[in-house]
């Protein structure tokens, strides 16, 4: 009896009833023939899709079973969405995919495809169509990874490999026609021959069953029980993703992965064009930097597939992704992305208005619209193959609107009775995609209902057996285990990378460097401002990292609002230095995708205040990538942000933002704030090297008010200028992540001022005043806000026993809180005081002085501290 919530028992009972009621077919159809007269799939292929769908369904049931006795920790399932198995079958196993959390059947098919032929770039064959003599997918050791596999670029597919066709049978050739990127699809030529009834009634259907999907099932179950042996996230989360399957893990539920997909598409196409040029010249494209550069991670004609739910089309991240894809398409740049919207009509309990999803997806400029019913596997396959072929051939974005249902609610704790009635639930059960595939197989004479039920039960038994096996596997046992994959820090390798860059710049690359700088390298240009030093370091970075790209609003033709990127487009070309549309989410999404594809992106966010529009791209996407893939995937990136306050004559809270708390709170994120020109260049080199070596995500906050500052104490003294070091001095001037800089003023024995950014210049001016009063000060420039240079903080504070923390951010949630906490944690027993910005937005004009730190306030704070 159907209850007011679709329980696992309801779903299982209804499926069994459906199969038991199916009439016996009059005659058997040869499984090698098309499943119907005009079908692009054979009976055997549809049967394999059924097995993938059943595996996904049984995994959902197992998830509820595990949760029932406290051993399962994730119950969002794929029931009702199993039509995405046909979408996976229509793609190549080397097409990178970003999947939402109802993608169990897709994942099963992709795992079987990759196991059958891990390196193939040929047009897809549905799972189970294994070439004679090949290793059966089920024989791959559980959880194994093909030798040498790893992150994109480590073992690249060979685009030159001869294409392997799995059969010359008509139905197989038909599949080839559907997915041939160079041939248009004619719906009237969807069959080469009529089906024939070659087998008598009662003969056995083709074998296959659970074996091709066993490894995928084990992966998913390990995720459910948080096993540390789970090959994706190592027990940190239940995600669909594996490097050897070209599936990028994503934990996002509301489309925050879509901007990354657009960035991946842009990068894939850029690398494809570079690869084409390389082949014509006999030089293959390389991704990365220096001698260790890797080959492009995906085949040149790969497309990116990205799936999401219908409620997500309303999210700002999705809107940004669609708009960016369409914007670039309108501008003539190609982005080969296939968006797949799986529309079950609900976002937890909120319904999508009838027709809204179709209307909003179908009206996106620059994005081709396709639609299919997920309960019809043949039609879904045909449309998905057509959409994939269109994207692959035209290198342009498209969306597949796949209608689905949601069975068993949003998750285990979802009480559907609060917002859905029994009649509606029954209607969804009638559209069960697994039952629909079963009906197709029985109607076609490929299998009987009894035989399909036997396969269902066998798969259920196998899944339950695997679930019991993984229950005993170890869990993450300590905080160190949990964070081990978060953000690797290998300072020795980073320092070596800087040294290697210096050797190349001063040796074999010296000629190209001199040419890039117009015959006058920056070390010969005389003292530089902060902006000029960053510009020169960016140019040196572009010379050393062939796949580095600089992009953002106004960075190319204009050279940035403050001229920091001036001249870089002329030196390195519009393909490597380019303007983007005005949307920070998309700017970061492009960077995320480009980094994942093997590039070294350096996006610019024009003002710190604008970063807050898009900070989830850093928190939810960038910082989590290595954490949820155990380092198998990484998105190296250095985000340049013009920030902080003290601009004269150009104020207001959007252009004088001092809020960095959201950055310091992101685990694993590196936050750098260079104050002086002679720190900016080495710190930027460190960030680039760390991104290239460790896959780090760095935010390089550049103090706007110091960009063009020249003087320190008096007009004309040039005290804030510095020369640019020649390559031979890069090693001795290397600035490791998390190391501070100390300035001694006078005896430097009486007071320690800890600060950063604009606070460095103000503190040095205050220290000069104090020196005239006989007070010796050491000014500590943190330089790195995450991770904080704790060892330097403790050492320099203990040296004087008096600490003044000068924090130009806010008193609440500011950097100063972290410094004081570090002192307390270390057992510091001296005196301490803070001078910090007021908990306020920065107002316009002279009023800003009332809420920001000043040199006078620093001097007064120091005197108060010294008087204790």
DSSP class per residue in 310-374: GGGGGSHHHHHHHHHHHHHHHHT----EEEEEEE-SEETTEEPPTTHHHHHHHT-TT-EEEEEET
Residue 491 burial class via C-beta count within 10 angstroms: exposed 0-12, middle 13-18, buried 19 and up? middle
Contact present, 93 and 245 (Cβ < 8 Å): yes
Q: What local confidence, expressed as pLDDT, does residue 6 receive?
A: 65
| CA dihedral for 206, 207, 209, 214, sign (positive or negative) | negative
Buried b (16+ CB within 10 A) or exposed e, 202-238: eeebbebbbbbbbbbbbbbbbbbbbbbebbbbbbbbb
C-alpha–C-alpha distance, residues 539 and 443, integer Å: 66
Q: Which residue has the tokens 């059966």?
A: 136
Half-sphere exposure of 512 (CA within 13 A, CB side): 14
Q: Identify the CA nearest to 109 among candidates 126, 96, 97.
A: 126
Tokens of 622: 């960038």
Residues β-bridged to residue 600: 548
Q: What local confidence, expressed as pLDDT, does residue 160 receive?
A: 33
Q: Identify the CA nearest to 100 among candidates 296, 301, 317.
A: 317
Q: Identify the CA nearest to 85 among candidates 448, 378, 393.
A: 378
The predicted model scores a pTM of 0.86
Q: What local confidence, expressed as pLDDT, does residue 344 receive?
A: 80
| CA dihedral for 458, 461, 462, 463, sign (positive or negative) | positive
C-alpha–C-alpha distance, residues 339 and 316, integer Å: 16
Q: What local confidence, expressed as pLDDT, does residue 164 receive?
A: 33
First to last CA, the chain: 79
Q: What local confidence, expressed as pLDDT, does residue 418 receive?
A: 76
Q: Which residue has the tokens 């005290």?
A: 719
Q: What local confidence, expressed as pLDDT, does residue 125 receive?
A: 55
Residue 106 burial class via C-beta count within 10 angstroms: exposed 0-12, middle 13-18, buried 19 and up? buried
Q: What local confidence, expressed as pLDDT, does residue 846 receive?
A: 85
Contact present, 590 and 584 (Cβ < 8 Å): no
Q: Which residue has the tokens 């740049």?
A: 333
Contact present, 807 and 754 (Cβ < 8 Å): no
Q: What local confidence, expressed as pLDDT, does residue 859 receive?
A: 97
Local structure of residue 242 (DSSP, 8 states): B
Strands 670-672 and 697-703: parallel
| CA dihedral for 195, 198, 200, 203, sign (positive or negative) | negative
C-alpha–C-alpha distance, residues 681 and 540, integer Å: 10
Q: How many CB atoms lie within 10 A of CB 748?
A: 20
Would you name the residues annotated as active-site residues?
A: 655
Half-sphere exposure of 355 (CA within 13 A, CB side): 0
C-alpha–C-alpha distance, residues 437 and 443, integer Å: 10
Helix ranges (DSSP H) in 472-509: 479-483, 491-506
C-alpha–C-alpha distance, residues 338 and 91, integer Å: 10
Tokens of 783: 């330089």
C-alpha–C-alpha distance, residues 451 and 688, integer Å: 59
Contact present, 859 and 763 (Cβ < 8 Å): no
| CA dihedral for 609, 610, 616, 617, sign (positive or negative) | negative
Element housing 544 (H / E): helix 530-544
- DSSP string covering 86-136: HHHHHS-TTS-EE--TT-HHHHHHHHHHHHH-TT--SPP--TT-PPTTSPP
Residues 6+ apart with CB under 8 A from 835: 804, 805, 806, 807, 853, 857, 858, 861
Contact present, 770 and 777 (Cβ < 8 Å): yes
Q: Which residue has the tokens 């970003």?
A: 98
Contact present, 328 and 538 (Cβ < 8 Å): no
Q: What local confidence, expressed as pLDDT, does residue 77 receive?
A: 84
Local structure of residue 309 (DSSP, 8 states): E
Rg (CA), the chain: 30
Residues 6+ apart with CB under 8 A from 824: none
Residues 6+ apart with CB under 8 A from 514: 521
Residue 59 burial class via C-beta count within 10 angstroms: exposed 0-12, middle 13-18, buried 19 and up? buried
Buried b (16+ CB within 10 A) or exposed e, 466-476: bbeebeeeeeb
Contact present, 672 and 699 (Cβ < 8 Å): yes
| CA dihedral for 419, 423, 424, 426, sign (positive or negative) | positive
Helix-helix angle 530-544:677-694, to 10 degrees: 30
Residues in the chain, pLDDT under 70: 1-6, 118-208, 252-253, 274-296, 414, 417, 649-651
Contact present, 463 and 217 (Cβ < 8 Å): yes
Tens of pLDDT, residues 324-380 = 999 999 999 999 999 999 988 778 777 788 888 899 999 999 999 999 999 999 999
Contact present, 152 and 15 (Cβ < 8 Å): no
Residues 6+ apart with CB under 8 A from 207: none
Q: Which residue has the tokens 């894939």?
A: 268
Half-sphere exposure of 255 (CA within 13 A, CB side): 24
Contact present, 788 and 818 (Cβ < 8 Å): yes
| CA dihedral for 437, 440, 445, 450, sign (positive or negative) | positive
Contact present, 779 and 753 (Cβ < 8 Å): yes
Q: What local confidence, expressed as pLDDT, does residue 276 receive?
A: 57
Tens of pLDDT, residues 115-145 = 887 555 455 555 544 332 233 333 332 233 3
Half-sphere exposure of 129 (CA within 13 A, CB side): 27
C-alpha–C-alpha distance, residues 46 and 34, integer Å: 9
Q: What local confidence, expressed as pLDDT, does residue 176 receive?
A: 33
Q: Which residue has the tokens 């050393």?
A: 544
C-alpha–C-alpha distance, residues 858 and 836, integer Å: 9
Contact present, 127 and 212 (Cβ < 8 Å): yes
- The verdict on whether omega for the bond into residue 787 sits within 30 degrees of 0, i.e. cis, is yes
Q: Which phi and psi angles does 528 have, rounded to 5°? A: -120, 155
């Amino acid at each position: 009896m159907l209850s007011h919530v679709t329980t696992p028992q309801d779903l299982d009972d209804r499926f069994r009833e459906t199969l038991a009621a199916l009439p016996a077919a009059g005659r058997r159809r040869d499984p090698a023939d098309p499943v119907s007269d005009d079908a692009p799939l054979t009976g055997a292929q549809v049967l394999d899709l059924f097995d993938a769908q059943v595996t996904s369904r049984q995994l959902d049931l197992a998830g509820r079973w595990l949760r029932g006795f406290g051993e399962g920790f994730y119950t969002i399932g794929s029931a009702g969405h199993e039509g995405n198995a046909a979408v996976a079958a229509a793609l190549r196993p080397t097409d990178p995919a970003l999947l939402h959390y109802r993608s169990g059947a897709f994942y099963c098919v992709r795992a079987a495809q990759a196991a059958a032929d891990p390196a193939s770039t040929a047009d897809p064959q549905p799972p189970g169509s294994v070439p004679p003599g090949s290793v059966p997918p089920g024989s791959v050791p559980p959880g194994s990874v093909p030798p040498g596999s790893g992150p994109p670029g480590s073992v690249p597919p060979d685009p030159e490999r001869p294409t392997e066709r799995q059969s010359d049978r008509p139905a197989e050739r038909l599949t080839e026609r559907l997915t041939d990127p160079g041939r248009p699809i004619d719906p009237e030529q969807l069959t080469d021959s009529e089906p024939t009834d070659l087998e008598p009634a009662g003969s056995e259907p083709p074998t296959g069953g659970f074996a091709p999907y066993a490894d995928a099932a084990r992966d998913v179950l390990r995720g459910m029980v948080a096993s540390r042996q789970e090959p994706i996230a190592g027990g940190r989360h239940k995600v669909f993703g594996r490097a050897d399957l070209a599936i990028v893990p994503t934990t996002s539920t509301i489309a925050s992965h879509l901007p990354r997909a657009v960035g991946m598409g842009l990068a894939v196409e850029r690398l494809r064009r570079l690869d084409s040029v390389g082949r014509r010249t006999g030089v293959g494209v390389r991704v990365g930097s220096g001698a260790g550069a890797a080959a492009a991670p995906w085949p040149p004609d790969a497309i990116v597939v990205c799936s999401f739910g219908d409620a997500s089309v309303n999210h700002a991240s999705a809107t940004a992704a669609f708009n960016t894809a369409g914007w670039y398409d309108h501008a003539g740049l190609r982005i080969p992305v296939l968006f797949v919207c799986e529309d079950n009509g609900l976002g937890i309990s909120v319904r999508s208005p009838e027709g809204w999803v179709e209307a909003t997806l179908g009206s996106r400029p620059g994005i081709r619209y396709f639609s299919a019913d997920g309960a019809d596997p043949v039609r879904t396959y045909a449309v998905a193959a057509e959409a994939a072929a269109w994207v692959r051939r035209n290198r342009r974005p498209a969306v597949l609107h796949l209608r689905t249902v949601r069975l068993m609610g949003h998750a285990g704790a979802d009480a559907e009775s609060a917002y859905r009635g029994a009649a509606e639930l029954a209607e969804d059960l009638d559209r069960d995609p697994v039952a629909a595939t079963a009906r197709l197989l029985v109607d076609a004479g490929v299998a009987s209902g009894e035989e399909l039920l036997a396969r269902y039960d066998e798969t259920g038994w196998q899944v339950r057996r695997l679930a019991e096996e993984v229950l005993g596997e170890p869990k993450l046992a300590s905080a160190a285990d949990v964070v081990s994959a978060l953000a690797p820090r290998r300072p020795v390798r980073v320092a070596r990378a800087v040294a290697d860059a210096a050797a190349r710049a001063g040796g074999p690359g010296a000629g190209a460097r001199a040419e890039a700088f117009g015959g006058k390298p920056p070390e010969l240009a005389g003292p530089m401002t902060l902006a000029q030093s960053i510009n020169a370091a960016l140019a040196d970075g572009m010379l050393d990292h062939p796949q580095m790209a600089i992009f953002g609003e106004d960075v190319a033709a204009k050279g940035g609002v403050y001229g920091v990127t001036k001249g870089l487009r002329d030196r390195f070309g519009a393909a490597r230095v380019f303007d983007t549309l005005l949307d920070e989410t998309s700017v970061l999404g492009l960077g995320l995708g480009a980094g994942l594809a093997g590039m070294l992106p350096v996006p610019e966010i024009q003002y710190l205040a604008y970063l807050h529009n898009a900070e989830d791209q850093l928190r939810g996407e960038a910082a989590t990538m290595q954490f949820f893939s155990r380092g198998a995937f990484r998105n190296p990136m250095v985000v340049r942000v013009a920030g902080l306050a003290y601009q004269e004559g150009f104020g207001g809270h959007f252009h004088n933002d001092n809020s960095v708390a959201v950055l310091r709170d992101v685990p694993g994120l590196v936050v750098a704030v260079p104050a002086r020109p002679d720190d900016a260049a080495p710190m930027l080199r460190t960030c680039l090297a760390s991104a290239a070596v460790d896959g780090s995500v760095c935010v390089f906050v550049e103090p706007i008010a110091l960009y063009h500052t020249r003087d320190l104490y008096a007009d004309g003294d040039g005290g804030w200028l510095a020369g640019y070091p020649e390559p031979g001095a890069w090693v001795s001037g290397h600035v490791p992540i998390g190391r501070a800089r100390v300035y001694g003023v006078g005896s430097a024995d009486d007071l320690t001022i800890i600060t950063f950014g604009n606070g460095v210049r103000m503190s040095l001016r205050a220290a000069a005043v104090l020196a005239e009063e006989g007070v010796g000060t050491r000014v500590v420039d943190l330089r790195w806000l995450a991770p904080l240079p704790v060892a330097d903080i403790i050492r320099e504070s203990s040296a004087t026993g008096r600490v003044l923390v000068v924090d130009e951010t806010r008193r609440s949630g500011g950097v100063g809180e972290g410094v004081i906490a570090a002192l307390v944690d270390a057992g510091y027993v001296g005196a301490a005081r803070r001078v910090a910005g007021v908990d306020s937005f920065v107002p316009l004009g002279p009023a800003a002085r009332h809420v920001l730190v000043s040199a006078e306030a620093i001097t007064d704070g120091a005197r108060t501290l010294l008087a204790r």
